[in-house]
Amino acid sequence: MKNISPIFTKAWKNLERNYQSFKDVHMKEMFLRNKNRFQEFSINFDDKIFFDYSKNRIDQKIIENLIDLAKETHLEDAIKSMFCGKKINVTEGRSVSHMHLRGNILDENQNNFLQNIREKVNISLKKMKSFSEDVIQGIWRGYTGKKITDVVNIGIGGSNLGPKIMIQSLKPYRNHLRFHFLSNIDVEHFNDLLKKIHLETTLFLISSKTFRTQETLTNAYSIKKFFLKKAKNEKHMNNHFIAISMNIHEAKKFGVKSENIFKIWDWVGGRYSLWSAIGIPIVLSIGFSNFKQILAGANSMDRHFYESDFKKNIPVIMALIEIWYNNFFKFETTAVLPYNYCLRNIPNYLQQLGMESNGKNIDRNHQTISYQSNPIIWGGSGIDGQHAFYQLFHQGTKIIPCDFIGSVCVHDSDNEKSFTRDHHDRLMSNFFAQSEILAFGNIKKEQNICKKSNDILYIHKFLFGNKPSNSILIRKITPYVMGSLIAMYEHKTFSQGVILNIFSFDQWGVEFGKKSANYIFSEINDPLKKKVQYHDSSTNGLINLYKKWKIRY
């Protein structure tokens, strides 16, 4: 992989010029000038996901220059390097091969590394299949002989968010099992969970790639304590505790028997791991064949990303447009706005994906970067947002590029039910209306109405428009589509990292936070009860106050 700083490319200089001459052009004008704008700036994926990026502050020239930027930073080589298993995660000395969990793109016979991966993946999938079928069919029983009714996933970050978004978004495909996600060590969360489950009918999945994450281990050990208090005998853990990890040694030390350990590998990054055994909650929830559909959908997106010309490549275009806004317009955030209840938490998932991957300030040449890396990603249910934060979108002083995500069909066995269609049509009317208003505003319409009626408030009612957005219109939320959608964002993140000359697959900032918290934990619990004095005055003061109030409480 070449390490080219984007700002020293010819394309970057061209884009700077483009920005100067283009920054005040209104989207209204662009649509008037080009009648084919919708056709030219949209991509249809598998007839299942339609990506419309015409409501962006771009034209053909800008897209060409952005694509030149991708070319000059050797994105194509980087894609090939990742797919053929080169160790592109340089700072951790690892390959990045989560795509191979979902199927192949390349001829694996030519590549030992990929062949080896395929064997491991097949063994793992087989084990996931038979385990999940046993649990779902009630063959796997708890220690008192009762069937499993509840599954608790104990994990955080990538060992939580991926399975969670999939299970949530694929609710119509779920079986009888109830799912709970324990990520937070906040005791309130823990106690809440205990009230909802019966230990003898609950399966605990300890999901941790490293098996070293403080939050996950604290929760796992506490659950184990509760469990043993009731079950009395350690051997009963075999019916209730499953580990998913790369660290087999620690999983065994915790008390999980070998057969109950599902292995993952160092070439699967935490935030890219839902396709591996970290996806066991998904398999348990929607069944193995649906999980295979997720993999198939993702594999199809892999192929699209690998094979499509950049001009027609959704992840690449998404990445480039975001770079354009973040670096040239200096728009600092991107809002993800699902118009689908099933997808309401997708912004959380995408936050980790984008911000943990590309939230970096050192480039691949080990130099401090002088441009913007990842924007702040945020968002939430679009329809709720309309009555909360959209006012700022429309008339605030900041410009926030948006990803609108909505679906055409709803999951309802009786699609003709009048209220179902009515609700969904109303919901989607808002989806279309918002991106339209953001792009085109209302100046003319309002001006005419207000002037005629002599409304002195008319100036307050103007919406200037020219606010960019992507519309991602999905035919229906299915396992296949969810696989494609998440893979699409993964590849967008990867493309952005490559172009911005960033190592996207480490997270040293987060690692340091983990260490610091462990150190402070030992200070809080210091048996000698010494006053803490090795931090700055604020941190010392806060910890000492915490210790004081803790005793009084």
Q: Which residues are known to be catalytic?
A: 356, 387, 514
Nearer to ligand F6P by Cβ, of 45 and 262: the residue is: 262
355-394 positions binding ligand F6P, by CB under 6 A:
356
Which amino acid, residue 172?
P
Near ligand F6P by CB under 6 A, which window of 14-22, 153-161, 343-351, 470-478?
Answer: 153-161
Site for ligand F6P contains 164 (CB under 6 A): no
The answer to whether 244 and 277 have CB atoms below 8 angstroms apart is yes
- Considering the complex, what minimum distance in angstroms separates the CB of residue 11 from ligand F6P? 32
* Secondary element (H or E) of residue 49: strand 49-52
The token duo for 176 is 């009888």
Out of 34, 210, 345, 386, name the contact with ligand F6P by CB under 6 A: 210
Radius of gyration of the chain (CA): 25
Out of 157, 281, 297, 385, name the contact with ligand F6P by CB under 6 A: 157
Q: Phi first, then psi: what are they for 545, rounded to 5°?
A: -65, -40
Nearer to ligand F6P by Cβ, of 248 and 437: the residue is: 248
Q: Nearest Cα to 348, choosing from 544, 183, 211?
A: 183
- Considering the complex, what minimum distance in angstroms separates the CB of residue 162 from ligand F6P? 9
- Considering the complex, what minimum distance in angstroms separates the CB of residue 252 from ligand F6P? 16
496-515 positions binding ligand F6P, by CB under 6 A:
507, 510
- Considering the complex, what minimum distance in angstroms separates the CB of residue 267 from ligand F6P? 14
Nearer to ligand F6P by Cβ, of 210 and 372: the residue is: 210
Q: Phi first, then psi: what are they for 324, rounded to 5°?
A: -55, -50
Near ligand F6P by CB under 6 A, which window of 34-42, 208-216, 383-391, 434-442?
Answer: 208-216
Binding mask 304-343 for ligand F6P (x = CB under 6 A): ----------------------------------------
Site for ligand F6P contains 208 (CB under 6 A): yes
Out of 6, 85, 142, 158, name the contact with ligand F6P by CB under 6 A: 158
Out of 11, 27, 79, 156, name the contact with ligand F6P by CB under 6 A: 156
Nearer to ligand F6P by Cβ, of 243 and 400: the residue is: 243
Q: How far apart are CA 244 and CA 262, in angstroms?
A: 5
For 238-307, give the secondary structure using H, E and C.
HHCEEEEECCHHHHHHHCCCHHHEEECCCCCCHHHCCCCHHHHHHHHHHCHHHHHHHHHHHHHHHHHHHH
Rounded alpha-carbon distances, angstroms, from residue 147 to 15, 136, 196, 240, 476: 61, 9, 16, 11, 33
SS3 367: coil
The answer to whether 155 and 216 have CB atoms below 8 angstroms apart is yes
Nearer to ligand F6P by Cβ, of 263 and 394: the residue is: 263
Listed in sequence order, the residues at least 6 apart from 540 whose beta carbon sits closer than 8 Å to its beta carbon are 531, 532, 533, 534
Near ligand F6P by CB under 6 A, which window of 207-215, 295-303, 368-376, 397-405?
Answer: 207-215
- Considering the complex, what minimum distance in angstroms separates the CB of residue 210 from ligand F6P? 3
Q: How far apart are CA 370 and CA 363, in angstroms?
A: 10
- Considering the complex, what minimum distance in angstroms separates the CB of residue 544 from ligand F6P? 28
Count CB neighbours of 228 within 10 A: 15
258-277 positions binding ligand F6P, by CB under 6 A:
270-271
Residue with tokens 């991708």: 70
- Considering the complex, what minimum distance in angstroms separates the CB of residue 225 from ligand F6P? 20
Near ligand F6P by CB under 6 A, which window of 31-39, 210-218, 309-317, 323-331?
Answer: 210-218
Q: How far apart are CA 342 and CA 166, in angstroms?
A: 9
- Considering the complex, what minimum distance in angstroms separates the CB of residue 163 from ligand F6P? 12
The answer to whether 278 and 486 have CB atoms below 8 angstroms apart is no
- Considering the complex, what minimum distance in angstroms separates the CB of residue 341 from ligand F6P? 26
Number of helices and strands in the chain (H, E)? 22, 11
Nearer to ligand F6P by Cβ, of 199 and 277: the residue is: 277
Out of 124, 213, 299, 466, name the contact with ligand F6P by CB under 6 A: 213
Near ligand F6P by CB under 6 A, which window of 35-43, 131-139, 151-159, 434-442?
Answer: 151-159
Site for ligand F6P contains 153 (CB under 6 A): no
Total site size for ligand F6P, rule CB under 6 A: 14
CA angle in degrees (0–180, nearest 5) for 228-231-236: 90
Residues 464-502: b if buried by 16+ CB within 10 A, e if exposed: ebbbbbbbbbbeebbbbbbbbbbbbbbbbbbbbbbbbbb
The answer to whether 152 and 189 have CB atoms below 8 angstroms apart is no
Near ligand F6P by CB under 6 A, which window of 41-49, 94-102, 152-160, 193-201?
Answer: 152-160
Listed in sequence order, the residues at least 6 apart from 293 whose beta carbon sits closer than 8 Å to its beta carbon are 478, 479, 480, 483
* Interaction site with ligand F6P (CB under 6 A): 156-159, 208-210, 213, 216, 270-271, 356, 507, 510
